[in-house]
Amino acid sequence: MKRLHTTILSIILFSTLYSWAFYIPVSQRAPNTYYFGFWETFIFVFMFSIPPFIAGAIISMVIDMVIKRINISSNFAHYLLQLILYSLAACIIISVLFVFDDGPFDIREFMIFVLFGIIAANIYLHILLALNKIHVLLLNRYSK
């Protein structure tokens, strides 16, 4: 259930950040040209983010199982390993999506998508870490 909440919150946050970053104010728009508004961009990004985030949630379970098998005593090393593995998983997901794309391959476009994938994976990771911390705090507070 925690991963479902993490996935939903991650999609909402990623869509919001993307829509905010690429929003063009009305005063800067060219005349007679249509621009997506904030909410149109949000809905568009939200819908198209669902499949990669679901794939990422499934892969995150595998990553967490792998990390549990590795005995790391340092919290920082544990965090760094998670950061690297989640970013690598994003690169793999984006690569798979590009393999199924039947359009011409453009390395610049691919790198931009990889960057967005890494950002999305790190948003997911940090929301998951925050929810885990909140869960532990609530258990400690109400289990007494």
pLDDT at position 62 is: 94
Give the pLDDT of residue 144: 64
Mean pLDDT by runs of 10 across the 144 residues of the chain is 91 95 86 88 94 90 91 89 95 88 84 93 96 89 76
Tokens of 128: 């998951």
Check residue 30 and give its pLDDT. Answer: 86
Q: CB within 8 A of 110, min separation 6: which ones?
A: 94, 98
pLDDT value at position 1? Answer: 82
